[in-house]
Structure 1
Amino acid sequence: MVYRPNSPWISRPNNIKEWFDTGVTIQNNVSVTANGEKSSGRISYTNIDTQGIINNTGQQENVLSANINLTPSDKLTASVNFNYVKKESDNLPANGYGWAGIIAWRQRDFPTQYAKDLFFQDGNENYMYNGDNPFYTWRNTNAFDRERIYGNVALTYKINDWLTANGQMGIDFYNEIRKSITQSGTARNRRLGLGGQFSESHINKKELNTDVTLNFDKTFNDIRIDGLIGANKRTNLYQTISLSASDLTVPDLYTISNVKGTAGTGMYESQYETNSAYFALNGSFKKVFYLGITGRNDWSSTLPKESRSYFYPSVSAGFDVTQALSLKSDILSYAKLRGGWAKVGGDTDPYQLNTIYNAGTFNGVSIFTPSRTLPPAGLKPEETTSYEIGADIRFWKNRIGLDFTYYDQTTVNQILSVTTSTTTGYSGMLLNAGEIENQGIELMLSASLIEKPTGLNWDVVVNWAKNKSMVNSLYGNLESYQISSGFGGTTTLGIPGEEWGVLWGLPFVRDDNGKIVVNSNGIPTTTNAAVKLGNITPDWTGGINNSFSYKGVSLSFLVDAQIGGDMFSTTAWHSYPTGAYENTVKNNVRETGLIVDGVFEDGTPNNIRVSAQDYFNGSWVWNNHEYSILDATYVKLRELAIGYNFNVSKINSISKLNLALVGRNLAILYRDKETKEYGIDPEIGFGGGESGIGYENFQIPTTRSYGFKLTASF
């Protein structure tokens, strides 16, 4: 151990920001298009190189696409669509609670630059607390290499002027290698004398689709009828093989032949098929009334034999008001009403119908352990029934438009895995457990406020949507089912009679008047009885996009918003005990303490002043989730773009030249005061994360990006 000079005990306001770098993304694309008398084609190549905001992370992507169309005769047409994508990274950044050590538990006086300099000087040696230097930890890499091929081959034969036969075969295949390593120089490995660890997985996934259709399009005076009948066969294959080593003979040689002891192994393979027959029939009368009918029957290999076949139809209709009434108005330019009803079926994952066994060894003897999920009895396909009505109305020569949609969607026989008593010998069972209903409204208003072909143009598009998702019922006497789980014991539940996505956790103990109950020491009391603390569903979402153009200059900006919805914040949950956030220093609390606004158990007002240490670092904070429920509202400046089209009329070899400056995710214009104090982007809790939707768990901070785009056409 080398002892360094003491660091001054001063506040370093940028010591978290200094853990991050400025990321850079460079994207290049070139495409060539060719057209001939009986053929046409396009080939495109894209390269994307990204250096992340975290030291020693990045990603490269190369995409090759090709489309070829051949017309060897008037009746026969052939097309080929091919795409190859190679995406790789030497190190993808870890996300989630691992960042708590930097964002939450790191002291505000910690010199980040010193840690970085120390790593490049001594590696993982001489770091504080005999722990790991984060810059060394980031060399414990998570690499991946994925190659994906997808595309299709299609043939179309024109039987006559109203009937064609079509055949198409498509494939979507990828092979991915993932490898994670832990170096021998970590504090733990040095202490235990281990040579490092690694794990490697090889994943193959393939989907094959074959479609055969007969298409027709026939006009009888004022009536036009078109549609198709067809069949599909889909096959899905999934394979994974994994190897791991908990110790290595030669330190930091990450091959399975170098394993010290017994290697970890794993293998999984699944296959399922779906056969389908379908039809679509569309009709129109005088371009006034439109009617569409579809039907599809699937046969799924993942469902029981008696339920394997399921049919789902749909009906849609439209009525062009302006055409029907022969309206010629400068005010009402266009009006069309529409409506629809549909039913959709769904199956489940492979190998859910019978007990499956997991292989292992014990003292050199092979053992097979049954799954902890009870196989379903009489499983039925999911069934979603929906209807919608809407209108598309435009005014003043299409300069103002309004598009409205109302929908109602109900899913029954929802296939869920629900928790069971372990006394049954299982921890869960698969069954048709629930009915969920979604109702919503979507509005889009568009307007050309200024329209001058040789001058200034201004277009505005406003979107607004509201969705309400209710859990109507669950199987038998089930009181809830778990959608996802978060940190510290919080869960997201589906509860009959409640909106989907209830945040469930431990509250403050309160009296009948809603006052927090404290103990004799003036500290909030706790309970182990969880309650509803919020709901992850927003009240509404929306956005407004403005586009301006003046001669060769264009300007556009997009503002979008999510209003309402709650999330559980692990940052907020740690803000009390870590003492690293502003709420632990407000109102001079560290010097004067505080009196909790509450009552004793007998109802008398609390009058005991407690220290900041006893309050913020008391054991009660780990048995309470209520203070960590935050409002997920946000308003963002999502995108700003400025472009210029250069005049290339005098350059024969160039048909278009455009330069654009683009910024994305530029600013959070509004968020809840408490969320802002924690420095949290509310949107981060609704991107999935490691705990599901509705949880903020020290995810890597969101970024704003600035860049330019140069486009040239020849």
Structure 2
Amino acid sequence: MDFYTERNEIGQNKGGAEGYLQGRYETYDNKNTIWDHTLQLNGMWQLTDKLDLNLNLGATSRRTEFSRQGVVSDQQSIFDVFRHYNFATSQPRQYDEVQNIMGVYAQTEFGYDNFAYLTLAARNDWVSNFIENSIFYPSASLSILPTSLIDGLQSQNGLNFLKLRAGYGTSAGFFGGYPVASTATLNTREFLKDGTLISSIRVDDELANPGLKPELLAELEFGIESGFIQNRVSLDVSVYKKTTTDLISRQPLDPSTGYTETVTNIGEVQVKGIEADFGLSLFRSENDGGFNWDINANFTADESTVIDLGQDTDNINIGGLFSDLSNFAVPNRPFGVILGSRVLRDDNGNKVVASTGSYVEENGLFEIGDPNADWRLNVSNGFRVKNFTFNFDISYRHGGDVYANTISALVGRGLTTDTEDRVSTFILPGVKADGSVNDIQINNSDYYFSNVAFGPSELQVYDGSTIRLREVSLGYSVPSKALDRTPFGSLSFTLSGQNLWFKGLNVPEGTNFDPENLGVGVGNALGFDFINSPGSVKIWYVY
């Protein structure tokens, strides 16, 4: 059993400029309980001198119970007193949700002569909150060790270890709540009429989708693992293709339908990628107190493509932000591209400028960015001498577009050093309506405020390439001899910090904007900043 509770408290004083002008106070408790049960039978057999077999058969059940209980009070009486008795009206808040997932599975592992290994597995799950509630998913993998198979291939100062692997795996995804059924909210205190409380039952804003299916993720992977020169050098490379069918996503709806969203399946999304891990012991001391320097690097690059929406539409809003600015699934484009407004183009692709010297906005919804990074590189350096250790991690993200309101707000209002030139005039690159090259001069305010900051959405999109000092740590381990007369078997002290420095390479210098500091919550939304709080620097001491 996994169980937790949390207390939430939200308060707003009366007289605020926005939100609940008469004041509001809200308290509620969340309780989450997960029951997991597993029955598993294991068997091992030595079939021949070289062939062995492991067999696992099992059944599982997982029950998740979520409950929210609380009170919401409005119309504050005494300013800055947050107690429910200080508010004129109170309403209960109550919500409960249960999901059961049951499954059966089998896995068989064959090993041959310590150089070849084959694994076959299959599983079937049933989920309680879907009508189409059953899904079957198999997997298989094969590994071969040429260094154990071929005599003479392995050597102390050459190739120490080599493993080739191939695998096909599948897994299922389920959605919580009650997406396949229409739900309603009962309110016994909708309003007061002639001294009598009037009740109401409201149909909720989410449209039921009885045909919703569990999503299925299938992955095909090929890889190689290797070690060289007394295992001082290691390389692990994987190439893979992931295909998700019936991907579950929330889809906003036009309020004129009577609903604001539904949960739907997206036909097929495919991801192709490569991942490589490289390790190097640059210095390795022969004694315990000598100098050691280890370098580890991880490189990842992938590209997602929406193969089929599975619906009769050109796009699906998966970010859930706005109808005219959000992440969308678009056929034959990366999953989650940003669609929004853009500057009008002529037939040659040139941006069109109005007679005022500012850009003209084109009617419609257009792709203005791809929030997915092109590739990422993380490099970790670890030093050890005697009882001291020092480590630092540097990461680099290449590409990935960001719609940044923080930059717009700062640049548009002249609050950064990027806008210090307030005397010169500016000419926007583009053409006038007659096709001639734009030569209309505009001032600093029109350039930044009306175009860079608050023009068509594409002008607020920036490249997200970022270099970051992700973590630094300094540690000391107390010598074991010093602990002989203490109850401690080992004792160490570590001072570490995270997110100590970063630089967005292609954003206005004076904004000091962090392209990775995004704040759109949990979900499919990616690549959006709406004047979020700055990222935090974490420093702590551990022993």
Q: TM-score, normalised by structure 2?
A: 0.90
1:398 corresponds to 2:231: yes
Unaligned runs of at least 5 residues, structure 2: none
By how many angstroms is 1:486 displaced? 5.0
Root-mean-square deviation (CA, aligned residues, Å) is 2.7
2:469 to 628, 632, 637: 637
8 Å contact 2:299–2:377 — kept in the other structure? yes
1:656–1:390 CA distance, 2 compared to 1 (3 A): same
Q: What is residue 277 of structure 2 aligned with on the other side? A: 444
Does 1:246 find its partner at 2:80? no
Which has the higher mean CA deviation after the structures are superposed, 549-558 or 700-709? Answer: 700-709
For this pair of structures, how many residues does the alignment match?
529
Q: Within 5 Å, give how 1:59-138 maps onto structure 2.
A: none
Is the contact between residue 339 and residue 368 of structure 2 (CA under 8 Å) also seen in structure 1?
A: yes
Q: CA deviation at 1:573?
A: 2.4
Q: Distance in 2 between matches of 1:620 and 1:546?
A: 40
Question: 1:489 deviation in Å?
Answer: 4.8
TM-superposition CA deviations, 1:295-352 (whole Å, max 9, x none): 2111111121xx3222211111111111111334231111111111122223322322
Amino acid at match of 2:371: I
- The alpha carbon displacement at 1:427 in A equals 4.3
Equivalent position of 1:562 in the other structure: 397
Aligned to 1:114: none
User: Equivalent residue for 1:183?
Assistant: 13
1:106-126 alpha-carbon deviations (Å, 9 max, x no partner): xxxxxxxxxxxxxxxxxxxxx
Q: Deviations over 1:514-541 (max 9, x none)?
A: 4332222222222332211110110111
Find the counterpart in structure 2 of residue 662 from structure 1. 496
Structure 2 partner of 1:49: none
Work out whether residues 125 and 134 of structure 2, in 8 Å CA contact, stay in contact via their aligned partners in 1.
yes
- Within the alignment, does 1:371 sit opposite 2:204 as a pair? yes
Secondary structure of the equivalent of 1:354?
Answer: coil
Q: TM-score, normalised by structure 1?
A: 0.69
Of the structure 1 ranges 541-550 and 646-655, higher mean CA displacement relative to structure 2 is found in 646-655
Q: 5 Å matches for 1:177-576?
A: 177-183=7-13, 196-220=23-47, 221-260=49-88, 262-304=89-131, 307-327=132-152, 328-330=154-156, 331-360=158-187, 361-363=190-192, 364-420=197-253, 424-454=257-287, 455-485=290-320, 489-576=324-411
Contact preservation (8 Å) 2:473, 2:497: yes
Greater shift, 599-608 or 234-243, is seen at: 599-608
- Classify 1:687/1:369 alpha carbon distance in 2 versus 1 (closer, same or farther; 3 Å): closer
Q: How far, CA to CA, are the matches of 2:160 and 2:116 in structure 1?
A: 18
Report which structure shows greater RCO (CA 8 Å, sep ≥6): 2
Q: 1:699 aligns with which of 507, 529, 532?
A: 532
State the SS of the aligned residue for 1:573.
Answer: helix
Between Structure 1 and Structure 2, which shows a larger proportion of helix residues? 1
* Aligned counterpart, 1:61: none
Deviation at 1:657, TM superposition (A): 4.2
Instruction: Return closer, same or farther for 1:421/1:553 CA change in 2, 3 Å cut-off.
Output: closer
Cα distance, 1:269 vs. partner?
1.0
Please report how far the alpha carbon of residue 287 of structure 1 lies from its aligned counterpart in structure 2 after TM superposition: 1.0
Aligned mates of 2:42, 2:357 — CA distance in 1: 77
- Using the TM superposition, give the Cα deviation of residue 582 of structure 1 relative to its aligned residue in structure 2, in angstroms: 2.9
Question: What SS does the corresponding residue of 2:410 show, helix, strand or coil?
Answer: helix
Matched-pair contact (CA < 8 Å) for 2:465–2:504: yes
Instruction: Please state how far the C-alpha of 1:432 moved relative to its aligned partner.
Output: 2.8
Q: CA deviation at 1:571?
A: 1.4
Distance 1:519 1:179, change over 3 A: same
Q: What's the CA shift for 1:213?
A: 1.2
What one-letter code is carried by the residue in structure 1 that aligns with 2:134? S
Residue 583, structure 1, aligned to residue 418, structure 2? yes
8 Å Cα contact 2:462-2:506 kept in structure 1: no
In structure 2, distance between residues paired with 1:342 and 1:535: 28
Deviation per residue, 1:205-248 (Å, 9 max, x gap): 11111111112233343222223211111111111123222213
Contact 1:494–1:502 under 8 Å retained in 2: yes
Farther off after superposition, 432-441 or 699-708: 699-708
User: Which stretch of the first structure deviates more once superposed, 206-215 or 506-515?
Assistant: 506-515
CA contact (8 A) 1:338 1:389 kept: yes
Cα deviation, residue 681, structure 1: 1.2
Q: Tell me which moved more, 523-532 or 251-260.
A: 251-260
**Identical-pair percentage:** 25
1:633, CA displacement in angstroms? 0.8
CA offset at residue 293 of structure 1? 1.5
Distance 1:218 1:308, change over 3 A: same
